[in-house]
Protein backbone atom coordinates (compact mmCIF):
# COMPACT_ATOMS: atom_id res chain seq x y z
CA UNK A 1 0.00 0.00 0.00
CA UNK A 2 2.82 2.40 0.78
CA UNK A 3 0.65 3.63 3.66
CA UNK A 4 0.90 2.46 7.24
CA UNK A 5 -2.11 2.11 9.53
CA UNK A 6 0.08 2.35 12.63
CA UNK A 7 -1.81 4.12 15.39
CA UNK A 8 -5.12 3.79 13.55
CA UNK A 9 -8.26 1.95 14.63
CA UNK A 10 -10.40 -0.06 12.22
CA UNK A 11 -13.81 -1.67 12.64
CA UNK A 12 -14.83 -4.54 10.34
CA UNK A 13 -18.25 -6.20 10.33
CA UNK A 14 -18.96 -9.70 9.09
CA UNK A 15 -15.42 -10.55 10.16
CA UNK A 16 -15.80 -14.13 11.37
CA UNK A 17 -14.96 -15.55 7.94
CA UNK A 18 -14.60 -14.78 4.26
CA UNK A 19 -13.95 -11.22 3.14
CA UNK A 20 -14.42 -9.65 6.56
CA UNK A 21 -11.87 -11.96 8.13
CA UNK A 22 -9.36 -11.21 5.37
CA UNK A 23 -9.93 -7.45 5.72
CA UNK A 24 -9.44 -7.63 9.48
CA UNK A 25 -6.19 -9.57 9.10
CA UNK A 26 -4.95 -7.12 6.46
CA UNK A 27 -5.63 -4.06 8.62
CA UNK A 28 -3.86 -5.68 11.56
CA UNK A 29 -0.87 -6.67 9.40
CA UNK A 30 -0.52 -2.99 8.43
CA UNK A 31 -0.49 -1.88 12.06
CA UNK A 32 -4.11 -1.01 12.85
CA UNK A 33 -5.93 -2.03 16.00
CA UNK A 34 -9.08 -3.86 14.87
CA UNK A 35 -12.56 -4.35 16.29
CA UNK A 36 -13.61 -7.68 14.77
CA UNK A 37 -17.42 -7.75 14.54
CA UNK A 38 -19.80 -10.58 13.71
CA UNK A 39 -23.08 -12.05 14.90
CA UNK A 40 -21.06 -15.27 15.15
CA UNK A 41 -19.18 -14.48 18.33
CA UNK A 42 -17.08 -17.64 18.23
CA UNK A 43 -15.99 -16.87 14.66
CA UNK A 44 -15.14 -13.28 15.57
CA UNK A 45 -13.05 -14.59 18.44
CA UNK A 46 -11.17 -16.94 16.12
CA UNK A 47 -10.31 -14.05 13.79
CA UNK A 48 -9.20 -11.99 16.77
CA UNK A 49 -6.98 -14.80 18.00
CA UNK A 50 -5.36 -15.05 14.57
CA UNK A 51 -4.50 -11.36 14.77
CA UNK A 52 -3.19 -11.38 18.34
CA UNK A 53 -1.17 -14.56 17.83
CA UNK A 54 0.64 -12.76 14.99
CA UNK A 55 1.43 -9.83 17.28
CA UNK A 56 -1.45 -7.56 16.30
CA UNK A 57 -4.09 -5.82 18.38
CA UNK A 58 -7.75 -6.80 18.14
CA UNK A 59 -10.86 -7.46 20.17
CA UNK A 60 -14.07 -9.22 19.15
CA UNK A 61 -17.63 -7.91 19.36
CA UNK A 62 -20.72 -10.08 18.91
CA UNK A 63 -23.17 -7.80 17.11
CA UNK A 64 -26.41 -8.05 15.15
CA UNK A 65 -25.98 -5.17 12.71
CA UNK A 66 -29.76 -4.87 12.24
CA UNK A 67 -30.13 -3.90 15.92
CA UNK A 68 -29.63 -0.17 16.48
CA UNK A 69 -28.65 -0.49 20.13
CA UNK A 70 -26.17 -3.24 19.38
CA UNK A 71 -24.54 -1.19 16.62
CA UNK A 72 -24.22 1.86 18.86
CA UNK A 73 -22.58 -0.35 21.49
CA UNK A 74 -20.27 -1.80 18.81
CA UNK A 75 -18.83 1.61 17.95
CA UNK A 76 -18.55 2.48 21.61
CA UNK A 77 -16.62 -0.77 22.18
CA UNK A 78 -14.02 0.26 19.60
CA UNK A 79 -13.58 3.67 21.23
CA UNK A 80 -13.50 2.23 24.76
CA UNK A 81 -10.85 -0.31 23.77
CA UNK A 82 -8.65 1.77 21.49
CA UNK A 83 -9.54 5.42 22.16
CA UNK A 84 -10.95 6.37 18.75
CA UNK A 85 -12.16 5.16 15.35
CA UNK A 86 -10.43 5.90 12.04
CA UNK A 87 -11.66 3.34 9.51
CA UNK A 88 -14.78 1.22 9.14
CA UNK A 89 -15.57 -1.53 6.66
CA UNK A 90 -19.25 -2.54 6.63
CA UNK A 91 -19.19 -6.03 5.19
CA UNK A 92 -21.85 -8.04 7.07
CA UNK A 93 -24.44 -9.45 4.68
CA UNK A 94 -26.54 -12.51 3.90
CA UNK A 95 -28.26 -14.05 0.90
CA UNK A 96 -30.55 -17.02 0.52
CA UNK A 97 -33.25 -16.54 -2.11
CA UNK A 98 -33.89 -19.34 -4.56
CA UNK A 99 -36.85 -18.13 -6.60
CA UNK A 100 -38.29 -15.13 -8.47
CA UNK A 101 -39.69 -12.06 -6.72
CA UNK A 102 -43.33 -13.23 -6.67
CA UNK A 103 -42.30 -16.33 -4.71
CA UNK A 104 -40.17 -14.63 -2.03
CA UNK A 105 -41.47 -15.09 1.49
CA UNK A 106 -42.06 -11.68 3.05
CA UNK A 107 -40.06 -12.59 6.14
CA UNK A 108 -37.07 -13.58 4.00
CA UNK A 109 -37.20 -10.27 2.12
CA UNK A 110 -37.39 -8.36 5.39
CA UNK A 111 -34.47 -10.33 6.86
CA UNK A 112 -32.19 -9.66 3.88
CA UNK A 113 -33.03 -5.95 3.82
CA UNK A 114 -32.64 -5.69 7.61
CA UNK A 115 -29.10 -7.04 7.58
CA UNK A 116 -27.76 -5.96 4.20
CA UNK A 117 -29.26 -2.47 3.97
CA UNK A 118 -30.56 -1.39 7.38
CA UNK A 119 -27.39 -2.88 8.87
CA UNK A 120 -25.16 -0.71 6.68
CA UNK A 121 -27.31 2.34 7.44
CA UNK A 122 -27.04 1.77 11.21
CA UNK A 123 -23.31 1.10 11.06
CA UNK A 124 -22.68 4.23 9.00
CA UNK A 125 -24.90 6.32 11.28
CA UNK A 126 -22.97 5.49 14.43
CA UNK A 127 -19.56 5.37 12.76
CA UNK A 128 -20.17 8.81 11.27
CA UNK A 129 -21.25 10.24 14.60
CA UNK A 130 -17.93 9.12 16.09
CA UNK A 131 -15.86 10.35 13.16
CA UNK A 132 -17.60 13.74 13.16
CA UNK A 133 -17.13 14.08 16.92
CA UNK A 134 -13.40 13.41 16.57
CA UNK A 135 -13.17 16.09 13.89
CA UNK A 136 -10.14 14.77 12.01
CA UNK A 137 -11.64 12.74 9.19
CA UNK A 138 -11.66 9.02 8.51
CA UNK A 139 -12.93 6.51 6.00
CA UNK A 140 -15.85 4.14 5.52
CA UNK A 141 -15.95 1.34 2.97
CA UNK A 142 -19.24 -0.45 2.31
CA UNK A 143 -19.44 -3.84 0.62
CA UNK A 144 -22.00 -3.73 -2.17
CA UNK A 145 -22.01 -6.22 -5.09
CA UNK A 146 -21.82 -6.51 -8.83
CA UNK A 147 -25.53 -7.40 -8.48
CA UNK A 148 -26.09 -3.66 -8.08
CA UNK A 149 -25.13 -3.32 -11.76
CA UNK A 150 -25.94 -6.73 -13.22
CA UNK A 151 -28.46 -8.77 -11.21
CA UNK A 152 -28.23 -12.53 -10.99
CA UNK A 153 -31.40 -14.59 -11.47
CA UNK A 154 -33.75 -15.01 -8.52
CA UNK A 155 -32.03 -12.59 -6.16
CA UNK A 156 -34.49 -9.69 -6.01
CA UNK A 157 -34.11 -8.90 -2.30
CA UNK A 158 -30.32 -9.28 -2.33
CA UNK A 159 -29.99 -7.14 -5.45
CA UNK A 160 -32.31 -4.48 -4.03
CA UNK A 161 -30.29 -4.40 -0.81
CA UNK A 162 -27.02 -3.89 -2.67
CA UNK A 163 -28.52 -1.15 -4.85
CA UNK A 164 -29.46 0.50 -1.58
CA UNK A 165 -25.94 0.18 -0.21
CA UNK A 166 -24.63 2.06 -3.25
CA UNK A 167 -27.26 4.76 -2.73
CA UNK A 168 -26.31 5.19 0.93
CA UNK A 169 -22.63 5.25 0.02
CA UNK A 170 -22.97 7.95 -2.62
CA UNK A 171 -25.33 10.14 -0.60
CA UNK A 172 -23.19 10.01 2.54
CA UNK A 173 -20.01 10.51 0.51
CA UNK A 174 -21.42 13.78 -0.80
CA UNK A 175 -22.70 14.87 2.61
CA UNK A 176 -19.50 14.18 4.57
CA UNK A 177 -16.63 14.80 2.14
CA UNK A 178 -16.19 18.38 3.34
CA UNK A 179 -15.57 17.04 6.85
CA UNK A 180 -12.65 14.96 5.59
CA UNK A 181 -14.57 11.68 5.79
CA UNK A 182 -14.22 9.63 2.62
CA UNK A 183 -16.90 7.02 1.91
CA UNK A 184 -16.66 4.48 -0.89
CA UNK A 185 -17.95 1.03 -1.84
CA UNK A 186 -16.50 -2.20 -3.13
CA UNK A 187 -18.57 -4.31 -5.52
CA UNK A 188 -17.17 -7.84 -5.31
CA UNK A 189 -17.81 -10.30 -8.08
CA UNK A 190 -17.62 -14.05 -7.54
CA UNK A 191 -15.30 -14.27 -4.54
CA UNK A 192 -14.44 -17.66 -3.04
CA UNK A 193 -16.19 -17.40 0.32
CA UNK A 194 -18.30 -19.76 2.42
CA UNK A 195 -21.38 -17.74 1.40
CA UNK A 196 -20.65 -18.23 -2.33
CA UNK A 197 -19.92 -21.93 -1.87
CA UNK A 198 -23.14 -22.36 0.08
CA UNK A 199 -25.15 -20.54 -2.57
CA UNK A 200 -23.74 -22.71 -5.35
CA UNK A 201 -24.47 -25.89 -3.41
CA UNK A 202 -28.02 -24.78 -2.64
CA UNK A 203 -28.69 -23.99 -6.29
CA UNK A 204 -26.91 -27.04 -7.69
CA UNK A 205 -24.34 -24.95 -9.60
CA UNK A 206 -21.04 -26.36 -10.86
CA UNK A 207 -18.13 -24.30 -9.45
CA UNK A 208 -16.06 -24.44 -12.65
CA UNK A 209 -19.00 -23.35 -14.82
CA UNK A 210 -19.86 -20.61 -12.35
CA UNK A 211 -16.31 -19.26 -12.26
CA UNK A 212 -16.12 -19.21 -16.07
CA UNK A 213 -19.49 -17.45 -16.33
CA UNK A 214 -18.88 -14.83 -13.65
CA UNK A 215 -15.24 -13.90 -14.30
CA UNK A 216 -13.26 -12.94 -17.35
CA UNK A 217 -10.28 -14.60 -15.69
CA UNK A 218 -12.11 -17.91 -15.42
CA UNK A 219 -11.59 -18.21 -11.67
CA UNK A 220 -13.09 -17.05 -8.42
CA UNK A 221 -11.60 -14.04 -6.72
CA UNK A 222 -9.70 -14.53 -3.47
CA UNK A 223 -10.73 -12.82 -0.26
CA UNK A 224 -7.28 -11.25 -0.04
CA UNK A 225 -7.98 -9.42 -3.30
CA UNK A 226 -10.99 -7.76 -1.68
CA UNK A 227 -8.93 -6.97 1.41
CA UNK A 228 -6.33 -5.15 -0.68
CA UNK A 229 -9.07 -3.04 -2.23
CA UNK A 230 -10.53 -2.19 1.16
CA UNK A 231 -7.13 -1.13 2.49
CA UNK A 232 -6.47 1.00 -0.58
CA UNK A 233 -9.80 2.80 -0.21
CA UNK A 234 -9.03 3.32 3.49
CA UNK A 235 -5.51 4.61 2.90
CA UNK A 236 -4.09 7.98 1.92
CA UNK A 237 -3.20 6.40 -1.43
CA UNK A 238 -6.86 6.93 -2.42
CA UNK A 239 -7.11 10.44 -0.97
CA UNK A 240 -9.05 11.85 -3.97
CA UNK A 241 -11.45 8.89 -4.24
CA UNK A 242 -14.92 9.70 -2.88
CA UNK A 243 -18.30 8.07 -3.54
CA UNK A 244 -16.73 5.47 -5.81
CA UNK A 245 -17.99 1.92 -6.46
CA UNK A 246 -14.86 -0.18 -6.98
CA UNK A 247 -15.64 -3.38 -8.88
CA UNK A 248 -13.28 -6.22 -7.96
CA UNK A 249 -14.80 -8.81 -10.23
CA UNK A 250 -12.27 -10.37 -12.61
CA UNK A 251 -13.69 -8.30 -15.47
CA UNK A 252 -17.28 -9.54 -15.07
CA UNK A 253 -18.92 -6.12 -15.47
CA UNK A 254 -16.70 -5.26 -18.45
CA UNK A 255 -18.12 -8.09 -20.52
Compute the average pLDDT of residues 68-75.
Answer: 98
Q: Is 186 helix (H, G, I), strand (E, B) or coil?
A: strand
b/e per residue, 187-219, with b = 16+ CB within 10 A? bbbbbbbebbeebbeeeeeeeeebbeebbeeee
Cα 238 to chain centroid distance, Å, stands at 18
pLDDT tens-digit map of 203-250: 778 888 888 898 999 999 999 999 999 999 999 999 999 999 999 999
Query: Is residue 253 domain-resident?
Result: no
- CATH number of the domain that 175 lies in? 3.40.50.720
Give 158-177 as a DSSP string: HHHHHHHHHHHHHHHHHHHG
pLDDT band at 2 (very low <50, low <70, confident <90, very high): low
Q: What are phi and psi of 137, to 5 degrees?
A: 80, -165
Is residue 208 in a domain?
Answer: no
Confidence at residue 178, expressed as pLDDT on a 0 to 100 scale: 98
pLDDT at 197: 80
Asked, for residue 210, whether it belongs to a domain, the answer is no
Q: How far is it, in rounded angstroms, from Cα 255 to Cα 243?
A: 23
Query: Average pLDDT, whole number, for the chain?
Result: 95
- Does the annotation count 158 as an active-site position? yes
Mean pLDDT of 21-26: 98
Q: In this model, does residue 177 exceed pLDDT 90?
A: yes
pTM, entire model:
0.95
Which is catalytic among the residues 121, 158, 176, 252?
Answer: 158
pLDDT at res. 1: 52
**Structure confidence at residue 211 (pLDDT):** 86
The phi-psi region of residue 53 (left if phi > 0; otherwise alpha if psi is between -120 and 50; otherwise beta) is alpha
The pLDDT of residue 230 is: 98
Assign 200 a pLDDT band (cuts: 50, 70, 90): confident
Number of domains in the chain: 1
* Structural domain harbouring 69: 9-192+223-244
Task: Considering only residues 206 and 3, tell me which one the structure prediction assigns the higher pLDDT.
Answer: 206
Across 78-82, 146-150, 152-156, 204-208, least confident range: 204-208
Instruction: Report pLDDT digits (tens) over 96-145.
Output: 877 999 999 999 999 999 999 999 999 999 999 999 999 999 999 999 99
Percent of the chain scored above 70 by pLDDT? 99
Is 209 within the bounds of a domain? no
Residue 74 lies in a domain: yes
Amino acid sequence: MGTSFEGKVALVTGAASGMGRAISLAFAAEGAAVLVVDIDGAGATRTTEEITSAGGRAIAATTDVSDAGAVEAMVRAAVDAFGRLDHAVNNAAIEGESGPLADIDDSEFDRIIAINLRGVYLCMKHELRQLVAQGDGGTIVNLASTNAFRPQPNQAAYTASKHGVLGLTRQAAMDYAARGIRINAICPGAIDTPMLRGAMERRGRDPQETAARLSGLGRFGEVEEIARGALWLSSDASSFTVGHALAIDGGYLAR
